Structure 1
Amino acid sequence: MQGWRVEMEDAHTAILGLPYGLKQWSFFAVFDGHAGAKVSATCAEQLLQEIVSNDDFKGKLELKEGTEIQPSLEDVNKGIKTGFLQLDEKIRGMPEMVSGEDKSGSTAVCVIVSPQHVFFANCGDSRAVLSRGGKCHFTTCDHKPINPAEKERIQRAGGSVMIQRVNGSLAVSRALGDFEYKNVQGMGPCEQLVSPEPEISVEPRSDKDEFLVLACDGIWDVMSNDELCDFVRSRMRVTDSLEMICNMVVDTCLHKGSRDNMSIVIVAFEGAPRLSEEAVKQDQDLDAKIEAKIKEIIAQPDMAEADLPYIMHMLNEEMDGFPPGGGITSKRSTIESILKRLRPSTTEDEDRG
């Protein structure tokens, strides 16, 4: 979702079944671009191929039609890092980058799911979380300039951290692209002010695994790991549409005040919460109670034209049972719809105002 930004600079990837015989493997990624969309779009198109086709991932096999590979844990870890670094160098060589016409960059968070493991790779401040057994089990770490290790690298490269930004400008300390921060002579690609090196983690899969969430900072700026996991988990009981749940998350974050581009990918495992008739009925009952309470509020003297913030405040004060993690904000669209139906002329005036 573009949100309040002038341009949509995010990109994402979701691929079920990887090449070279890895039919039971999957790849998911979110890329949060800045200063343009070129790097994020290139990452979405090319990162997976750069990972699975390099020698560290596949070994010395010559890749051709029908080739099947069996990478070890070490192969995958090394291959992911090599793929990131190779892609960064490839982007650096693009004509618009060489000329300086394009100065864009992008964070990247990706997950490779194999039959036995989940591999996380993060570069920047997009984030992935794994929900297991009813709670947030694992999360990637954001790469911010104020992190001690990141700050130390920036300073060794001759840079500084001001107002929590690299040289007072860039809000992330690792990214692909951003080549104006990668020109320190005598230092390797992972020693520059901004590093393209991913932080890689591996989690063995479990029967208790519920779902993965990958999202850019437009989501995480307004929802914590636990809040988002709780909200997604609760919504899985009222709908089996992951697309609808993604839309609910984005709407909730927009209503919570996020002004950034927003991208989210949800991956459900076999252990994910199932659609529940009881949960669906509870959600329907909640909507009915919200409507009854709104009718009660606007029927009071001087309350016929009460505005949306006041009505939401009253509902929050007098009701409970709102979706975990989302609270009353996650029901704002429902509340707006009820108000528009109950007093269409007033709501239209509010929309125009």
Structure 2
Amino acid sequence: MFKQVHATESVSADLSISRKDVKSLEKVPDQCIESTITQFSPSIRSGSFADIGPKRYMEDEHIRIDNLSSHLGSFFKFPKPSAFYGVFDGHGGPEASGYIRKHALRLFFEDVNFPQTCEVDDVFLKGVENSLRKSFLLADLALADDCNVDSSTGTTALTAMIFGRILMVANAGDCRAVLCRKGEAIDMSEDHRPIYPSEQRRVEELGGFIDDGYLNGVLSVSRALGDWDMKFPKGSSSPLIAEPEFRQMVLTEDDEFLIIGCDGIWDVITSQHAVNLVRRGLQRHDDPEQCAKDLVTEALRRKTFDNLTVIVICFSAPGNREQPSPRQRRLKCCSLSPEALYSLRSLLDLNANQ
């Protein structure tokens, strides 16, 4: 990101125990969930990789929890399977992203009365949406109140939750989630750039401006947590907001994996190319962590200029990956000249007489 100040280097931690606008790619009615829940249940496993890239400081953080129920303990009741992932891309220093990662479970579950049930229905999904929105806004306010977080630092935030067959993504900023469905890349989030018409219109209506693609000439995103030196006082509408957008999907047998990455990946790699790379890797070695590393390596090869963080979440158990179709054996026909045919016959006759 454009906005940056010198800060102490902080290395991303991997916790593998450790607008009021709501967008949906697919409506999830109760009867749909009920009629298909017995047909497919994702078997969740994940891998992640992070690299400082060409920058002097590491400002990315991430969290991945493949089994949310066991991680939070018996006090929380969720549909099975349940999982939680997040990528937090800091700017202006590592304080904001580090704070969100450190307090993620409290901010996203404990402090917002996260809905608890064993069943996935419209009531539960609406409750999840409301809780997530509240989490983003409370996290934003927490960054303003913490004396250890400088007002000039901020972070984008993207979270992905899986409950049963439902995938829900919440995003504020330019991290991106991409779903692979039968080899096709489906974006599960929208990059919040100031130059995008919907974001530019909102920014300008609230008194902000876009200068050379940057919000108020400073920030390359139009939504982020923190950055309180750019926001109006608490309770006031601001051009820079922490309000997340939501997308959800009913997972089917056709859904193979989800990629979550910071903008250091997407600045140089398209969603479809990332899906192609991960898909080939899973077909070869079935290791999501190696696939995450391969994506980071490819972004570095393409000269990205940012920190790099990737999480790859698979929806099938090891060994259940799709195998590449075997190539059909090609039969080649050849012809012999009369001279060659005569020589071959002579050789065969000679061998027969010996």
Q: Which residue, 21, 35, 53 being the options, matches 2:77?
A: 21
Counterpart in the other structure of 1:241: 287
Q: Which residue, 15, 36, 57 being the options, matches 2:114?
A: 57
The alignment partner of 2:86 has SS state of strand
Shift of 1:277: 9.0
Q: Which residue, 5, 8, 11 being the options, matches 2:61?
A: 11
Say if 2:255 and 2:315, in contact at 8 Å, map to a contact too.
yes
Looking at structure 1, the residues matched to 299 and 161 of structure 2 have their Cα atoms a distance apart, in angstroms, of: 26
Which whole-Å deviations, capped at 9, do the CAs of 1:270-293 have from their partners, x for residues lacking one?
1897285989xxxxxxxxxxxxxx
Looking at structure 2, the residues matched to 278 and 93 of structure 1 have their Cα atoms a distance apart, in angstroms, of: 56
Of structures 1 and 2, the one scoring higher in RCO (CA 8 A, sep 6+) is 2
1:32 aligns with 2:89: yes
Shift of 1:54: 4.4
Counterpart in the other structure of 1:93: 145
Cα RMSD of the aligned pairs, angstroms, is 2.4
Assess, with a 3 A threshold, how the Cα gap between structure 1 residues 278 and 147 changes in structure 2: closer, same or farther. Answer: closer
Shift of 1:87: 1.1
Counterpart in the other structure of 1:44: 101
Looking at structure 2, the residues matched to 185 and 149 of structure 1 have their Cα atoms a distance apart, in angstroms, of: 24
Looking at structure 2, the residues matched to 129 and 185 of structure 1 have their Cα atoms a distance apart, in angstroms, of: 33
Counterpart in the other structure of 1:215: 261
Counterpart in the other structure of 2:296: 250
Alignment map for 1:1-353 (pairs within 5 Å): 1-18=51-68, 19=72, 20-22=76-78, 24-55=81-112, 57-58=114-115, 72-97=124-149, 101-183=150-232, 187=236, 191-270=237-316, 274=321
Which whole-Å deviations, capped at 9, do the CAs of 1:46-83 have from their partners, x for residues lacking one?
23432223456338xxxxxxx98977110011110001
Which whole-Å deviations, capped at 9, do the CAs of 1:114-144 have from their partners, x for residues lacking one?
1120000110000001111221134310001
TM-score of the superposition, structure 2-length normalised? 0.70
Shift of 1:153: 2.3
Looking at structure 1, the residues matched to 302 and 234 of structure 2 have their Cα atoms a distance apart, in angstroms, of: 44
Shift of 1:185: 7.3
Looking at structure 2, the residues matched to 88 and 35 of structure 1 have their Cα atoms a distance apart, in angstroms, of: 15
Say if 1:58 and 1:69, in contact at 8 Å, map to a contact too.
no
Q: Greater share of helix residues, 1 or 2?
A: 1
The amino acid of 1:144's aligned partner reads R
267-276 vs 69-78, which moves further: 267-276
The alignment of Structure 1 onto Structure 2 pairs a total of residues equal to 266
Which whole-Å deviations, capped at 9, do the CAs of 1:283-331 have from their partners, x for residues lacking one?
xxxxxxxxxxxxxxxxxxxxxxxxxxxxxxxxxxxxxxxxxxxxxxxxx
Shift of 1:238: 1.1
Assess, with a 3 A threshold, how the Cα gap between structure 1 residues 185 and 261 changes in structure 2: closer, same or farther. Answer: closer
Looking at structure 2, the residues matched to 114 and 68 of structure 1 have their Cα atoms a distance apart, in angstroms, of: 9
The amino acid of 1:46's aligned partner reads H
Say if 1:54 and 1:82, in contact at 8 Å, map to a contact too.
no
Looking at structure 2, the residues matched to 270 and 127 of structure 1 have their Cα atoms a distance apart, in angstroms, of: 22
The alignment partner of 1:95 has SS state of coil
Shift of 1:85: 0.5
Shift of 1:164: 0.5
Looking at structure 1, the residues matched to 95 and 106 of structure 2 have their Cα atoms a distance apart, in angstroms, of: 18
The alignment partner of 1:201 has SS state of strand
The amino acid of 1:274's aligned partner reads R
The amino acid of 1:119's aligned partner reads M
Assess, with a 3 A threshold, how the Cα gap between structure 1 residues 203 and 271 changes in structure 2: closer, same or farther. Answer: farther
TM-score of the superposition, structure 1-length normalised? 0.70
Shift of 1:103: 1.6
81-90 vs 136-145, which moves further: 136-145
Shift of 1:16: 2.3
The alignment partner of 1:251 has SS state of helix
The alignment partner of 2:199 has SS state of helix
Shift of 1:181: 1.6
- Where in structure 2 are there 5+ consecutive unaligned residues? 1-50, 327-354
Assess, with a 3 A threshold, how the Cα gap between structure 1 residues 275 and 162 changes in structure 2: closer, same or farther. Answer: same
43-52 vs 195-204, which moves further: 43-52
Say if 2:87 and 2:260, in contact at 8 Å, map to a contact too.
yes
Looking at structure 1, the residues matched to 169 and 105 of structure 2 have their Cα atoms a distance apart, in angstroms, of: 13
- Where in structure 1 are there 5+ consecutive unaligned residues? 60-66, 280-353
Query: Moved runs in structure 1, 4+ residues, more than 4 A?
Result: 67-71, 275-279
Q: Which has the larger radius of gyration?
A: 2
Percent identity of equivalent pairs: 31
Shift of 1:96: 3.3
